[in-house]
């Protein structure tokens, strides 16, 4: 089981690294840099300014889509690793706290109900 957990952790790490690099790549391509790239492609005569803008927009859109997909994969893999290690998520913890509070409340209601119905002899 330790081997599977180690493999899961390394694959999660790889996914997180890919996600980080994709995010950095998308962030590095600022609007100013996009405009420069479009101008350069258009000035070389390889394509019109509109074609260059469309191509660059298409590539950046793919990068963003890849980043979202990698994030989803990393989240799924991380959840699997947490399960394997026997850990719970914050949401699961909060749900358990709520259920416990509800049970405690019900027990208090039952206890106070029993005290009221008990006669003088017990």
Q: Per the confidence metrics, is the pTM higher than 0.85? A: no
Q: What does pLDDT average to over the chain?
A: 74
Q: Tell me: the pLDDT tens digits for 19-34?
A: 566 666 655 556 677 6
Going from N- to C-terminal start, the domains of the chain cover 2-87, 89-122
Q: Tell me: the pLDDT tens digits for 50-72?
A: 777 777 777 777 777 777 787 78
User: Read out DSSP for the chain?
Assistant: -HHHHHHHHHHHHHHHHHHHHHHHHHHHS-HHHHHHHHHHHHHTTSS-HHHHHHHHHHHHHHHHHHHHHHHHHHHHHHHHHHHHHT---HHHHHHHHHHHHHHHHHHHHHHHHHHHH--TT-
């Amino acid at each position: 089981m330790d081997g599977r957990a180690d493999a899961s952790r390394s694959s999660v790490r790889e996914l997180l690294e890919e996600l980080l690099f994709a995010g950095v790549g998308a962030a590095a391509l600022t609007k100013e840099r996009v405009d420069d790239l479009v101008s350069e492609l258009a000035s070389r005569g390889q394509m019109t300014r509109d074609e260059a803008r469309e191509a660059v927009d298409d590539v950046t859109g793919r990068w963003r889509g890849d980043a979202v997909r990698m994030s989803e994969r990393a989240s799924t893999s991380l959840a699997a690793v947490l399960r394997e290690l026997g850990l719970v998520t914050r949401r699961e913890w909060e749900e358990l706290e709520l259920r416990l509070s509800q049970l405690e409340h019900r027990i208090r209601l039952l206890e106070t109900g029993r005290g009221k119905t008990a006669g003088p002899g017990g």
